[in-house]
Amino acid sequence: MYTKVILVKDTDLKRADKTREFYTRLLDYLREADLHEQIQVVRVADIGVYEQGLVVKILPDKIIYTNLQDTDIKRIVDLTLSEGKIIEDLLFKPKAKQCRIVLRNCGKIDPESIEDYIACGGYLALKKVLGELGQLKLIDEIKASGIRGRGGAGYPTWMKWNFAREVVSAEKFVICNADEGDPGAYMDRSILEGDPHSVIEGLIIAAFAIGASRGYFYIRAEYPLAVERIEKAIRQAYEHGLLGDNILGSSFNLNIEIRLGAGAFVCGEETALISSIEGKRGTPHPRPPYPSVKGLWGKPTVINNVETLANIPVIISKGGKWFSQIGTQTSKGTKVFAVTGKVKNSGLVEIAMGATLREIVMDICGGTLSGKPIKAVQTGGPSGGVIPEKLLDTPVDYENLQKLGSIMGSGGMIVMDDDDCMVDIPKFYLGFCVEESCGKCAPCRIGGFQMLNYLKKISEGKGKPEDLVQMRRIAQAMQKASLCGLGQTASNPVLSTLKYFEDEYNEHILNKHCPAGKCSSLVTYKIIEEKCKRCGICFNNCPVKAITGGKEEGYAIIQDKCVKCGQCFDVCKFKAISKK
Amino acid sequence: MSKFTPADLEKMSKVSCDKPKDWIKVGMSSCGIAAGADEVFNFFVEEVKKRNLHIEIKKCGCTGMCYAEPLVEVSVEGLPSVIYGAVNKDVATKILEKHVISKMLVNDCIFEVLS
């Protein structure tokens, strides 16, 4: 039986992997020291530390040594493993750590088993709310926690609940907004699929807080597995008396139904979502009156995001004060981010508010996949903005991100490196918003379309310097005059790239050149004769037969025929094709 | 099925869902399934039956390390609890033969150590 385990991994990407050599040397030395039967050495695929050379982690002591040389093996074995002494100059202290509140049960319990959820303390918060707290104390507890809506805008949850509670009405509603539509964001899906009961419990508590007797899950139809699991969880909750009449023997009744969203992005906006549930066309309408006062079928309605609701049971169980100690002055608790794009470890990251973007991207997610420097990070999906590399040390919270011209949003985070073009990125996001605009108000419908045309012109090399001025004017009009959040924020990607990367726009407009090589109209491919080995692979791969010549006389690209797909560039093994 | 009372909940919460027993959990959210987690899950169930091993195979949600799906968490008495990533049938066989039977961690496949 082994008493200790040593994990080994080479985290330096710039040279050849030395994990195996180090592993063998370490094993040899352990054998020499006659420790090989007590200590197991394991090569791992990921050790949780990046760009720190050779790393070992010793278990169960959890000691991490970094930047190791072969000469360090003797010290580690003789001092740490034999005598239990820590070698200070090799020791690594992990900086950023994830803090799992929302994802507490994801990956831990069987999402289809209510027993598993209860065994992890599930539904005890509901019991506490019904048995001890009552409406007022419950809202006080939520107020003390300082939690704000996780859907993007960051409105204090307790205020929403309190408004709806104060309105006198025979019928009130609660809705869980699971219409997650931002490109690259999937936090809500993972929570619904991994821990559906926590969201249901949160929704029941919200309903109790305002005195609602009916609730809805509004889930997009693109999430079939999430729908299936929520359906199953609701059925289990009914069977066990956690939904329906007289919940847990109290006088509180609640019935929950699922409504599927048909894939319209705008239906994530609360007034549009309400219209959609009512069976009307999913278009937003002006607020006030806010849904807390006049919502679904004209009745007081509270709409909370999946992540907000998943936080509620923990806040009740551990107390609002405990929750308020996590995070920053204005933003309490944690936030789940879906980190995607050109990043090594893409996935879900839950951090306490106030961690910096650099910690998230570099320390937790391991930096870029290509090893190239980060150019920018996009947060908040189509409503958010681009944050350049130099500002990555900003602590993440609602206010800070807004100051930078982005938003927290629902939690999408897309990492970009030098290969991403800062004209192409806003073009993609704005294109998304134009496609998804419901068309009800003119600023969003017309403004978005016009701005997209300017971006297209610039990316084709037909832009003029005055276009930037015009784009800024349209963006301002859209922000001020649009009816709902979609239009008001649709210009954020454009404005933030204009703010931080105006040089890149000018390069496109004045020099007709795309520094990232993304805008296909501005790129020309050429065969460099000196490097060409005449293998003919580009000739065979060109889909439009724009390459002429043969093995004898060499090859050339006919520029008029070339569609700039980049196939030849990708397949050439000798880097004999230039892309400019 | 019976309706729970507050006392039932209290009692059930005292029972740990990870009884001190050997188990393998396969992450079965959309991301895992897309990467082939259900195949791995079925493979584990069949192999455990074939080899007559005393280990429970369970399903769970996504732990968040989407770059390394399918993820499999293994807890065996006497070894630290670890998450194996990018698990296919080959790795799954190694997990059963090395980790579960010989009680040794498998090289090159561990993505996270939990305890």
pLDDT of residue A59: 82
- pLDDT digits 0-9 by tens, A313-322: 999 999 999 9
Mean confidence (pLDDT) of chain A: 90
pLDDT of residue A19: 86
pLDDT of residue B18: 55
A197-223 mean pLDDT? 94
- pLDDT digits 0-9 by tens, A476-525: 999 999 988 889 999 999 999 999 999 999 999 998 888 888 888 888 88
A377-402 mean pLDDT? 91
Residue scoring higher pLDDT (A124 or A18): A124
Write out chain B residues lying below 8 Å of A197, CB-based: none
Confidence of residue A300 (pLDDT cuts 50, 70, 90): very high
User: ipTM value of the model?
Assistant: 0.89
Confidence of residue A90 (pLDDT cuts 50, 70, 90): confident
Alpha-carbon distance A20 to A43, whole Å?
8
Q: How far is B89 from chain A (nearest CA, A)?
A: 17
Answer yes or no: do A1 and B78 touch at CB < 8 A: yes
Answer yes or no: do B64 and A60 touch at CB < 8 A: no
C-beta separation of A189 from A111 below 8 A? no
A79: Cα separation from own chain's centroid: 43
Answer yes or no: do B13 and A119 touch at CB < 8 A: yes
Q: Which of A158, A130, A128, A165 is nearest to A144 (CA)?
A: A158
Confidence of residue A410 (pLDDT cuts 50, 70, 90): confident
Residue A96 has pLDDT above 70, yes or no: no
A542: Cα separation from own chain's centroid: 37
| Residue written as token pair 């007797």 | A213
> Any alpha helices (H) in chain B, and if so which ranges?
6-14, 30-34, 37-51, 89-94
Alpha-carbon distance A140 to A321, whole Å?
11
Assess if residue B5 is contained within a domain.
no
Q: Which CATH number fits domain A524-579: 3.30.70.20, 1.10.760.10, 3.90.550.10, 2.140.10.10?
A: 3.30.70.20
For B29, the domain range is 19-113
Nearest chain B residue to A235 by CA distance is B1
Residue A44 has pLDDT above 60, yes or no: yes
Answer yes or no: do B103 and A1 touch at CB < 8 A: yes
Answer yes or no: do A122 and B13 touch at CB < 8 A: yes
Answer yes or no: do B80 and A241 touch at CB < 8 A: no
Percent of chain A with pLDDT over 90: 53
Residue range(s) of every CATH 1.20.1440.230 domain in chain A: 424-510
3-state secondary structure of B27: strand
Write out chain B residues lying below 8 Å of A131, CB-based: 6
Residue range(s) of every CATH 3.10.20.600 domain in chain A: 334-417
Write out chain B residues lying below 8 Å of A347, CB-based: 64-67
A172-194 mean pLDDT? 91
Write out chain B residues lying below 8 Å of A120, CB-based: 13, 17
Q: How far is B106 from chain A (nearest CA, A)?
A: 7
Residue B21 has pLDDT above 90, yes or no: no
Q: Which of A193, A223, A345 sits opposite B67 (nearest CB)?
A: A345
Confidence of residue B1 (pLDDT cuts 50, 70, 90): low
Write out chain A residues lying below 8 Å of B81, CB-based: none
CB pairs under 8 A between A and B: 148
Nearest chain B residue to A10 by CA distance is B108
B6-25 mean pLDDT? 78
C-beta separation of A8 from A42 below 8 A? yes
- pLDDT digits 0-9 by tens, A518-570: 888 888 888 888 888 888 899 999 999 899 988 888 898 998 888 888 889 88
Is A114-323 assigned to CATH 3.40.50.11540?
Answer: yes
* Lowest mean pLDDT segment, chosen from A61-65, A136-140, A390-394: A61-65
Write out chain A residues lying below 8 Å of B113, CB-based: 7, 44, 57, 59
Assess if residue B90 is contained within a domain.
yes
C-beta separation of A109 from A185 below 8 A? no
C-beta separation of B82 from B113 below 8 A? yes
Answer yes or no: do B12 and A347 touch at CB < 8 A: no
CATH superfamily for A4-90 is Glutaredoxin (3.40.30.10)
- pLDDT digits 0-9 by tens, A423-440: 999 999 999 999 999 888
What's B66's domain CATH number?
A: 3.40.30.10
The token duo for A578 is 């230039």
Strands lying side by side in the sheet with B56-60: B56-60, B23-27, B72-75, B82-84, B110-113
A contact test, residue of B1, B65, B67 with most A CBs within 10 A: B67
Residue range(s) of every CATH 3.30.70.20 domain in chain A: 524-579
- pLDDT digits 0-9 by tens, A339-363: 999 998 888 999 999 999 999 998 8
Answer yes or no: do B12 and A46 touch at CB < 8 A: no
pLDDT of residue B102: 87
The token duo for A487 is 């239009």
pLDDT of residue B19: 62
Confidence of residue A48 (pLDDT cuts 50, 70, 90): confident
Answer yes or no: do B60 and A345 touch at CB < 8 A: no
Beta strands (DSSP E) in A434-539 are: 525-527
Residue B6 has pLDDT above 90, yes or no: no
Q: How far is B93 from chain A (nearest CA, A)?
A: 17
A334-417: which CATH topology?
Ubiquitin-like (UB roll) (3.10.20)
Assess if residue B3 is contained within a domain.
no
Assess if residue B68 is contained within a domain.
yes
Q: Which CATH architecture has domain A424-510?
A: Up-down Bundle (1.20)
Task: Work out how many domains chain B is built from and give that number.
Answer: 1
Answer yes or no: do A347 and B71 touch at CB < 8 A: no
Write out chain A residues lying below 8 Å of B111, CB-based: 44-46
Q: Which of A196, A244, A238 is nearest to A219 (CA)?
A: A196
Confidence of residue B20 (pLDDT cuts 50, 70, 90): low
Nearest chain A residue to B34 by CA distance is A225
The token duo for A386 is 């681009």
Write out chain A residues lying below 8 Å of B9, CB-based: 118, 123-124, 127, 248
Answer yes or no: do A226 and B30 touch at CB < 8 A: yes
pLDDT of residue A334: 92
Q: What predicted TM-score, i.e. pTM, was given to this entire model?
A: 0.89
Answer yes or no: do B6 and A248 touch at CB < 8 A: yes
Answer yes or no: do A59 and B113 touch at CB < 8 A: yes
